[in-house]
Chain A
Amino acid sequence: GQNIDQPTEMTATEGAIVQINCTYQTSGFNGLFWYQQHAGEAPTFLSYNVLDGLEEKGRFSSFLSRSKGYSYLLLKELQMKDSASYLCAVSLGGRAAGNKLTFGGGTRVLVKP
């Protein structure tokens, strides 16, 4: 089966940095996605990694190591509006999988003043 693990909850202070780790063991790999989801709302796309290394996009960066089955999402200069769940998802790829995304359980980040 597919296994994607991330911490359940993290707390950080406004202006600080938080790193959300994600480890995965899947039968295929065609890229790793990070989504942000505010409570009761739809997930929104944050980042995509398919090659090893760091992708930076403003205050958010995402890192991937395929050999270690590991990714992290780095949130810098935290703002109160960053309080949300962050979902790690792996695309298994292949025609049969139909580019299906398998999601981890999500990490709830609480930003405190």
Chain B
Amino acid sequence: DSGVTQTPKHLITATGQRVTLRCSPRSGDLSVYWYQQSLDQGLQFLIHYYNGEERAKGNILERFSAQQFPDLHSELNLSSLELGDSALYFCASSSGGKDYGYTFGSGTRLTVV
């Protein structure tokens, strides 16, 4: 157990629908990062939150949004889902220390049918 909790582990939904993915960071970590990994693709950075504030945005679609709550958990909202949104979505947390990068959650596998 990495200490980063993601729910749900698997999600199957239809095109056009909206889903919410949840992430609880490791205790004490203020930063949460969201990444998308499509089949046989690298990790694509979506968005970073630090202590409730958005810090950086990557190639995140307008249909996607995220937030980080006062208790530091984060949610990634995906709407108007398309088949191409099927992917593994990882959340990672960091204390902000430079030396050890991130700790990743086990991911949410989203399948859009």
> A5 to nearest B CB, angstroms?
11
Contact A98 B100 (CB under 8 A): no
Once bound together, how far apart are the Cα atoms of A43 and B107, in whole Å?
Answer: 10
Contact A87 B42 (CB under 8 A): yes
Contact B104 A98 (CB under 8 A): no
Among residues 23 to 82 in chain B, which have CB atoms less than 8 Å away from a CB atom of chain A?
Answer: 31, 33, 35, 41-45, 48, 50, 55-56, 58
> B87 to nearest A CB, angstroms?
12
Q: For chain A, which range describes its interface: under 10, 10 to 19, 20 to 34, or 35 or more residues?
A: 20 to 34
Contact A89 B101 (CB under 8 A): yes
Among residues 74 to 113 in chain A, which have CB atoms less than 8 Å away from a CB atom of chain B?
Answer: 87, 89, 91, 93, 96-106
Q: Which of A42, A45, A104 contacts B106 (CB 8 A)?
A: A42
Contact A99 B41 (CB under 8 A): no
Q: Which of A30, A42, A102 contacts B98 (CB 8 A)?
A: A30
Contact A33 B101 (CB under 8 A): yes
Contact A97 B42 (CB under 8 A): no
- Which chain B positions have C-beta within 8 A of A30? 98
Once bound together, how far apart are the Cα atoms of A96 and B53, in whole Å?
Answer: 12
Given contacts A42-B2, A96-B56, A98-B55, contact A103 B101 (CB under 8 A): no
Chain B CB within 8 A of A11 CB: no
Number of interface residues of B (CB under 8 A): 29
Given contacts A40-B88, A42-B107, A43-B43, contact A31 B98 (CB under 8 A): yes
Residue of B nearest to A8 (CB): B40
Contact A99 B45 (CB under 8 A): no
- Which chain B positions have C-beta within 8 A of A91? 98, 101
Contact A104 B42 (CB under 8 A): yes
Chain A 5-33 against B: per-residue CB contact (8 Å), 1 yes, 0 no? 00000000000000000000000001101
Residues of B bordering A, CB below 8 Å: 2, 31, 33, 35, 41-45, 48, 50, 55-56, 58, 88, 90, 94, 96, 98-107, 109
Residues of A bordering B, CB below 8 Å: 30-31, 33, 35, 40-45, 48, 50, 87, 89, 91, 93, 96-106
